[in-house]
Amino acid sequence: MFQNKICLSSDNWSPAHPLVLKAVLEANEGYAAPYGADFWTEQATSLIQEVFRNPCKVFMIPAGTGANVFSLKLSCRPYQSVICTDIGHINFQESGAAEAIVGCKLLTVPHQEGKITTESVEKKLQAERAFGKHTTSPRVLSITQPTEIGTVYSLAELSSLSKLCKAEGLLFHIDGSRLYNAAIHLNVDLHEIVRAASPDILSLGGTKNGLMGAESVVIFNSHLYEGTDHLHKQTLQLLSKMRYLSAQYIPFFRDELWRTLARGANQKAQQIGAIIETIPELSLSYGVKTNQIFFTAPAAWIPLIQEKILCYVWDKEKNEIRFIASWNTSDQDIANLRSVLVEIRESVNTRQYNTVF
Amino acid sequence: MFQNKICLSSDNWSPAHPLVLKAVLEANEGYAAPYGADFWTEQATSLIQEVFRNPCKVFMIPAGTGANVFSLKLSCRPYQSVICTDIGHINFQESGAAEAIVGCKLLTVPHQEGKITTESVEKKLQAERAFGKHTTSPRVLSITQPTEIGTVYSLAELSSLSKLCKAEGLLFHIDGSRLYNAAIHLNVDLHEIVRAASPDILSLGGTKNGLMGAESVVIFNSHLYEGTDHLHKQTLQLLSKMRYLSAQYIPFFRDELWRTLARGANQKAQQIGAIIETIPELSLSYGVKTNQIFFTAPAAWIPLIQEKILCYVWDKEKNEIRFIASWNTSDQDIANLRSVLVEIRESVNTRQYNTVF
Amino acid sequence: MFQNKICLSSDNWSPAHPLVLKAVLEANEGYAAPYGADFWTEQATSLIQEVFRNPCKVFMIPAGTGANVFSLKLSCRPYQSVICTDIGHINFQESGAAEAIVGCKLLTVPHQEGKITTESVEKKLQAERAFGKHTTSPRVLSITQPTEIGTVYSLAELSSLSKLCKAEGLLFHIDGSRLYNAAIHLNVDLHEIVRAASPDILSLGGTKNGLMGAESVVIFNSHLYEGTDHLHKQTLQLLSKMRYLSAQYIPFFRDELWRTLARGANQKAQQIGAIIETIPELSLSYGVKTNQIFFTAPAAWIPLIQEKILCYVWDKEKNEIRFIASWNTSDQDIANLRSVLVEIRESVNTRQYNTVF
Amino acid sequence: MFQNKICLSSDNWSPAHPLVLKAVLEANEGYAAPYGADFWTEQATSLIQEVFRNPCKVFMIPAGTGANVFSLKLSCRPYQSVICTDIGHINFQESGAAEAIVGCKLLTVPHQEGKITTESVEKKLQAERAFGKHTTSPRVLSITQPTEIGTVYSLAELSSLSKLCKAEGLLFHIDGSRLYNAAIHLNVDLHEIVRAASPDILSLGGTKNGLMGAESVVIFNSHLYEGTDHLHKQTLQLLSKMRYLSAQYIPFFRDELWRTLARGANQKAQQIGAIIETIPELSLSYGVKTNQIFFTAPAAWIPLIQEKILCYVWDKEKNEIRFIASWNTSDQDIANLRSVLVEIRESVNTRQYNTVF
């Protein structure tokens, strides 16, 4: 087992926060209408609408890939396409679900530190549109905020992309499975991100920020409402006992638990980044902004790190490792991490010394 | 609200059993590998394998429609088709998910008291195969046990259908979202149903029998294993924090909670059936076998019943009502039901009397 | 080979009319813009627009199943469904293409002499809509004119169905692969059918009425135009050298060849029907209206008929045979048919006589 | 109109060769079994089987996108993926048909002079497989021979890719819509390409080499035969009067018309390339190998060229133009082209001279 290792694999290795489980327990009271017509879903929906300060239709969703696929399915007809980065979760971590279930093409552009730029979108649009009916009709721009490598679009960048979408007749979708960590980094409220980005649809997370398992899709563009109740069911996202999913969101938004947990995770990531910066052999790939830390290490360090720390090698060729801090990463974890890295350094250097002589 | 009504709408209006929530709480301990690689999923999987006494591959699934769609997707290529009854859940209650996500045609045959007969399958096969490539290639026979109207295939009937499948080169799929209630009625263990039916794939329930939200797909035919890990993800059925789903199955199978709960629900249904039989104006549509009760009532009774009892009108033309008892249907509920029905009878008869005179 | 047999199998066994091939030869002149941007496609499109006396968008299509699938794909989103009869070509003769390529469910109702009735549509709508998001959202009514068994909707029947569609928010699709034969029977022009039916989309035939291979989709509802150029390509219906397909329609509509050929085929069918009526052992299933003839025969006759005549047994249980006359069915064919049937009768009766004595 | 322009747009602007039309006319004789069960389809199939000297199953197909989609649909299940170049026709010129109809993801790699390299395939495999079920399962390598920019894989390169496919468990698909031009360039017979490449499936062209409209899919791997008759129909590729399509292939293969026509087109392309090389302002992008010529021109030349010559600007940024020679490109066309280019040069240089002074 991995009990003795420090777990920096991913925030979905973490347990749920006790207040979340408490809310689930409280929802276990008597009968409730199924399929989302219950009191808890109504409450969670209202809370989300209040948080974003915008009229919107909210759907509860069991997992993140489902949130993205449902978002794209309600936005796209099959001759249309979705622009995203090559490392976009919808393109690279969802097992071809968009193509298989939405039937649309994903038009990928190379990312710039995880982000998509207005220039690259414009260039892709031009290339795809040059061939008329022989190519697809671009319909959605989908970005991930924060990105898959922990970088964060500024409000200005979001505004620019949004403006581009309006000008080009694209719908704007944000995959916000860790949106909370971006808000903390930007030091803004969630509705300020939405005000800047003016997205048509948002995949809103929860599971990675201390819930048991709850995501949602928030539709801001009312022209997209039609058919969504059917699609929620048809894309396999509708739970019968929805109350147990929705209840998780209640303390999360009512008591601003999302903020406490995301802030905690971001702070721990800052501490981890600071430790890495003290070790000359390690090099942060990007500034640490959210709860994700990417850094490169000498090849010889990789197995030693993985022996003590649960984490992913993100890029084998570059010897790049990903750490993710979570709401429950402890001070002890941080202290242990420091010791482990220092020990590895010493052992490697001693070995090298011994090798030389 | 509906607090003062007796709830006989459906078993998915019921809360989870306390032991199930206890198991979920116990799973909320420390880090766990995501996407089903955790200790609880391993344990739940083993328990299911033991229960069925057959080698099988088990996938945890958030909701029943997902279980069916995943089952069909792993069994069918798009030129193939699935035979089922016209009232089959996959055909009539899943919002076209099979067609949209599997892409296969459902070949429906009229049901006989909810069941499909070997004769009707043979006839459908003949009709479809007569046109070769111009029609589809039937590949799966899918039945629901117990059926959508609460009837139950006997072990002999299951054997006959299974034999037919073997002879005709069909895969045999059972939608067992309430399989537990059928096992109680048949007075057999779950593995005896599987021994008789020898299904290739089983959609196994849980949510309707006291879980918070947990279903599974059990694949007995090892030729169907290939690609299923990918399809589990691609059909949006893979949860990151799978432990909270899997943990629910642990007391359910380890402590035979499934048996206690299904037996309780079936017994309450028997009591409800007995009450209905005492009222001359009401008429049971079928003998009560599981936790589902179907009966017809005079048209004038329908609104009166719905005023006091949460339930569905199953067939408007026939004035047929469906009651479903649940693990938590109480003795008080039964007593109240009796009173309500007697009161309705008196009020209607008085009114008629007054109308006549 | 089948040279010595009378061919009454289907009108797609027939060759193309010489004037059609002449038009194809004439189109083989010099360079032409591909993918439908050529002179012949422009001309054929104009002719179709004139014939229907209605603004419409026209797409050339290589084969009938493609015309229907393209029609449904442009009309339906995957959560929507299509109402048709159980023997509808889209349901029973297209190998599941609608489900596989459009992803929609076909809601079938039993036919009445091949037709769908307003009552059966209303009943199906009610049943499907009763379950809201748990079932599909009916979107298209699709009929075949003439029907798969050679019956013909009257203009009044078309009007009623059209009115129902408007009232119920359904799009109206006509599969008119043999529309010409229906027009001849009804003694109306093609535009009169469209005026009565006011369809949103029409699959318009050609191949079965003397063309080499040319069908089309005619969209009357301009709200459906969006995306159709892309879908034409994406659903694999766009030919590069489209001129050879389009050219076939030029003499067909310009010189009213469609009328000559369909009238010829219908007349021959009338003659065949008259012959069948003279033979007491044979019984027409329906009055002969177009070029299709359905009749039942004594079981013993079936192999004898098939020995001399190329034709399909339409319904084995009922000993029902289908004959289809074509534009090139000759007077000699008719004379031979008469002889063959008389001979069969004599041989069977003699045999029976011999058997008795 | 474009009558006075030289047409170098594409080989699908060309008419059909007279011998092809003669074969079509000859097929217009009497009745023929529909849906490919006719004499001409049998003959064309045999000829293709002989040409490739390998057992194979052959399907006639109306257009190239259909050939590719049918090929991928029979090879892939939806959780699997197809590796191809970013400029691969299946990725960039088929309006998203693979995603919409096959439902699979296309994994693109940057091309090297139009080709895919074993290194890039291996790298893509590694990247995609690193994430197990969270990404797709690569199943097909699809190349275009000759490539979309007129380069040609050598037999050795084909062998290497084939070997890689075997080693990695990939099916090998060749899009050979202009395979004939590659064979002429390589100076080999068609079966030698197949011997070197050992493809599992081949999309075989025809339309671009002088046919009216005929493509085919040739399946060499007999494990892929299952279900293909149904898929041929379901993917909308089955014509009723198939004889008119198949007949085109008869002189094409029986009389080696394919060779005459492809050789002619390649020779004309050589002459065009030679002319371009004589003009210092123009620069061939690649050596001319087949009937496709790519070259860059000064920006000011582009509108002047397009005024006189029908052709595509392939890459606006690079001022790259594509010419395609065809079987019917005439000596007069070549002479005219030379004059046009010389004239343009003079007019531009004069203008520049005038501008300077």
pLDDT digits (tens, 9 = 90+) for D86-108: 999 999 999 999 999 999 999 99
- Supply the CATH number for residue B172's domain: 3.40.640.10
Question: What's the mean pLDDT in C221-245?
Answer: 98
Residue D165 inside a domain? The answer is yes
User: Do B69 and B59 share a domain, yes or no?
Assistant: yes
Integer Cα distance of D293 and A89 in angstroms: 39
* pLDDT computed for residue A351 by the predictor: 78
User: Do D57 and D192 share a domain, yes or no?
Assistant: yes
D67 in Cβ contact with D61 (< 8 Å): yes
Residue D81 inside a domain? The answer is yes
Residue C254 has pLDDT above 70, yes or no: yes
A262 in Cβ contact with A184 (< 8 Å): yes
Contact D79 B136 (CB under 8 A): no
Residues of chain A above pLDDT 70, percent? 98
Contact D93 A133 (CB under 8 A): no
Q: How far is C174 from chain A (nearest CA, A)?
A: 23
Integer Cα distance of A31 and B325 in angstroms: 12
Q: Give the sheet arrangement for strand D171-176, strand by strand.
A: D57-61, D215-219, D201-204, D171-176, D137-144, D80-85, D105-109
Integer Cα distance of B344 and B352 in angstroms: 12
A320 in Cβ contact with A294 (< 8 Å): yes
Helices A257-277 and A243-254: angle between axes, nearest 10 degrees: 70
3-state SS of B90-148? HHHCCCCHHHHHHCCEEEEECCECCECCHHHHHHHHHHHHCCHHHCCEEEEEEEECCCC
pLDDT digits (tens, 9 = 90+) for A285-335: 999 999 999 999 999 999 999 999 999 999 999 999 999 999 999 999 999
Which residue, among C71, C307, C105, C288, has the nearest Cα to C182 in the 3D structure?
C288
Integer Cα distance of C4 and C308 in angstroms: 8
Beta strands in chain D (DSSP E): 6-7, 57-61, 80-85, 105-109, 137-144, 171-176, 201-204, 215-219, 283-284, 292-296, 309-310, 312-315, 320-324
> What does the radius of gyration of chain D's CA atoms come to, in whole angstroms?
21
Q: Classify residue C228 as left (phi > 0), alpha (psi -120 to 50) or beta.
A: alpha
DSSP label of D112: B
* pLDDT computed for residue D1 by the predictor: 45
User: Do C115 and C264 share a domain, yes or no?
Assistant: no
- Supply the CATH number for residue C330's domain: 3.90.1150.10
Integer Cα distance of C219 and D150 in angstroms: 39
A1 — pLDDT class (breaks 50, 70, 90):
very low
Integer Cα distance of D114 and D175 in angstroms: 13
Chain C nearest-CA residue for A75: C77
Amino acid at B42: E
For residue C287, how many C-alpha atoms fall within 13 Å in the half-sphere facing its CB?
3
Contacts of A92 in chain D (CB under 8 A): 131, 135
Picking from A223, A256, A289, the residue at the C-terminal end of a domain is A256
Picking from B231, B256, B281, the residue at the C-terminal end of a domain is B256
DSSP label of A212: S
Q: Chains that contact B by 3+ CB pairs under 8 Å?
A: A, C, D
Give B98-101 contacts, CB < 8 A, sequence gap 24+: B98/B68, B98/B69, B98/B72, B99/C78, B99/C99, B99/C103, B99/C104, B99/C105, B100/A101, B100/A234, B100/C78, B100/C79, B100/C103, B100/C104, B100/C105, B101/A100, B101/A101, B101/A234, B101/A235, B101/A236, B101/B69, B101/B73, B101/B235, B101/C103
Q: Give alpha helix (H) positions in chain B.
A: 18-26, 39-52, 64-75, 89-92, 97, 118-129, 155-168, 179-186, 190-197, 228-234, 243-254, 257-277, 301-308, 331-356
Question: What's the mean pLDDT in C202-230?
Answer: 98
C356 — pLDDT class (breaks 50, 70, 90):
low
pLDDT digits (tens, 9 = 90+) for A77-114: 999 999 999 999 999 999 999 999 999 999 999 999 99
Facing residues of D204 across strands?
A: D176, D216
Amino acid at A38: D
User: Do B190 and B301 share a domain, yes or no?
Assistant: no
B133 in Cβ contact with D238 (< 8 Å): yes
Integer Cα distance of A341 and B190 in angstroms: 52
* pLDDT computed for residue D71 by the predictor: 98
Unique residue bearing structure tokens 């769609």: B69
D187 in Cβ contact with D193 (< 8 Å): no
User: Do A219 and A279 share a domain, yes or no?
Assistant: no
Least confident of A10-24, A212-226, A266-280, C343-357: C343-357
Question: Residue B328's domain spans which residues?
Answer: 6-12+258-356
> Residue-wise pLDDT tens for chain B (357 aa)?
456 799 999 999 999 999 999 999 999 999 999 999 999 999 999 999 999 999 999 999 999 999 999 999 999 999 999 999 999 999 999 999 999 999 999 999 999 999 999 999 999 999 999 999 999 999 999 999 999 999 999 999 999 999 999 999 999 999 999 999 999 999 999 999 999 999 999 999 999 999 999 999 999 999 999 999 999 999 999 999 999 999 999 999 999 999 999 999 999 999 999 999 999 999 999 999 999 999 999 999 999 999 999 999 999 999 999 999 999 999 999 999 999 999 999 999 887 766 655
Structure-token pair, residue D76: 């892939």
Which residue, among C50, C115, C66, has the nearest Cα to C86 in the 3D structure?
C115
Q: How far is A62 from chain C (nearest CA, A)?
A: 18
User: Do A142 and A263 share a domain, yes or no?
Assistant: no
Residue B63 inside a domain? The answer is yes
Which residue, among B201, B147, B218, B204, has the nearest Cα to B176 in the 3D structure?
B204
Unique residue bearing structure tokens 């047999």: C5
* pLDDT computed for residue C3 by the predictor: 60
Contacts of C227 in chain A (CB under 8 A): 77, 79-80, 137
- The CA distances from residue A286 to A269, A282, A321, in Å, are 12, 12, 12
Residue C33 has pLDDT above 70, yes or no: yes
Amino acid at C294: F
Burial class (CB in 10 A: 0-12, 13-18, 19+), B166: exposed
D77 — pLDDT class (breaks 50, 70, 90):
very high
Integer Cα distance of C82 and C76 in angstroms: 8
D65 in Cβ contact with D97 (< 8 Å): yes
DSSP string, D306-338: HHHEE-EEEETTTTEEEEE--TT--HHHHHHHH
* pLDDT computed for residue C1 by the predictor: 45
Unique residue bearing structure tokens 């590729």: D237
Amino acid at A207: T
Please state, rounded to an integer, the average pLDDT across all residues of chain D: 96
User: Do D271 and D329 share a domain, yes or no?
Assistant: yes
User: Do D207 and D63 share a domain, yes or no?
Assistant: yes
Residue A1 inside a domain? The answer is no
Question: What's the mean pLDDT in C334-353?
Answer: 91
Residue D1 inside a domain? The answer is no
Structurally, chain D folds into a number of domains equal to 2
DSSP string, A288-301: --SSEEEEE--TTH
Please state, rounded to an integer, the average pLDDT across all residues of chain A: 96
DSSP label of D21: H
Residue A192 inside a domain? The answer is yes
Q: How far is A101 from chain C (nearest CA, A)?
A: 10
Picking from B225, B256, B287, the residue at the C-terminal end of a domain is B256
A135 in Cβ contact with D90 (< 8 Å): no
Question: What's the mean pLDDT in D150-168?
Answer: 98
Determine which helix (DSSP H) or strand (DSSP E) holds D192, and give its type and residue range.
Answer: helix D190-197
Which residue, among B321, B303, B304, has the nearest Cα to B312 in the 3D structure?
B321
Q: Chains that contact D by 3+ CB pairs under 8 Å?
A: A, B, C
pLDDT digits (tens, 9 = 90+) for A207-255: 999 999 999 999 999 999 999 999 999 999 999 999 999 999 999 999 9
Chain C nearest-CA residue for D235: C97
Q: How far is C16 from chain A (nearest CA, A)?
A: 31
Residue B1 inside a domain? The answer is no
Determine which helix (DSSP H) or strand (DSSP E) holds D2, and give its type and residue range.
Answer: none
A153 in Cβ contact with A178 (< 8 Å): no
Residue C32 has pLDDT above 90, yes or no: yes
Q: State ipTM.
A: 0.96
Our separate counts of H helices and E strands in chain A read 14, 13
Contact C80 A238 (CB under 8 A): no
Contact D137 B227 (CB under 8 A): yes
pLDDT digits (tens, 9 = 90+) for C36-81: 999 999 999 999 999 999 999 999 999 999 999 999 999 999 999 9
User: Do B343 and B273 share a domain, yes or no?
Assistant: yes
- The CA distances from residue C43 to C111, C269, C335, D265, in Å, are 38, 32, 40, 30
Integer Cα distance of C108 and C144 in angstroms: 13
User: Do D295 and D337 share a domain, yes or no?
Assistant: yes
Unique residue bearing structure tokens 């690079």: D318
Q: How far is C92 from chain A (nearest CA, A)?
A: 24
Comparing CB atoms, the residue among C93, C101, C104 nearest residue B96 is: C104
Q: How far is CA D319 from the centre of its chain?
A: 23
Residue D240 inside a domain? The answer is yes
Residues of chain D above pLDDT 90, percent? 96
DSSP label of A115: B
Comparing CB atoms, the residue among B14, B62, B234 nearest residue A100 is: B234
Amino acid at A120: S
pLDDT digits (tens, 9 = 90+) for D36-61: 999 999 999 999 999 999 999 999 99
* pLDDT computed for residue D357 by the predictor: 54
Amino acid at D225: Y
Contact C33 D13 (CB under 8 A): yes
Residue D323 has pLDDT above 80, yes or no: yes
- The CA distances from residue C130 to B93, B113, B316, C134, C153, in Å, are 11, 21, 10, 9, 29
Chain B residues with CB under 8 Å of a chain C CB are 78-79, 81, 92-96, 99-101, 103-106, 108, 130-131, 133-136, 316
Residue A153 has pLDDT above 90, yes or no: yes
Contacts of A171 (CB under 8 A, 6+ apart): A75, A139, A140, A141, A165, A200, A201, A221, A224
Chain C residues with CB under 8 Å of a chain B CB are 78-79, 81, 92-96, 99-101, 103-106, 108, 130-131, 133-136, 316
Reported pTM: 0.96
pLDDT digits (tens, 9 = 90+) for D164-188: 999 999 999 999 999 999 999 999 9
* pLDDT computed for residue B349 by the predictor: 86
| Burial call A37-74: b when 16+ CB within 10 Å, e when fewer | ebebbebbbebbbebbeeebbbbbbbbbbbbbbbbbbb
Structure-token pair, residue C57: 């968008």
Amino acid at A303: P
User: Do A279 and A306 share a domain, yes or no?
Assistant: yes
C123 in Cβ contact with A213 (< 8 Å): no
Structure-token pair, residue C183: 């027009």
User: Do A22 and A90 share a domain, yes or no?
Assistant: yes
* pLDDT computed for residue B335 by the predictor: 97
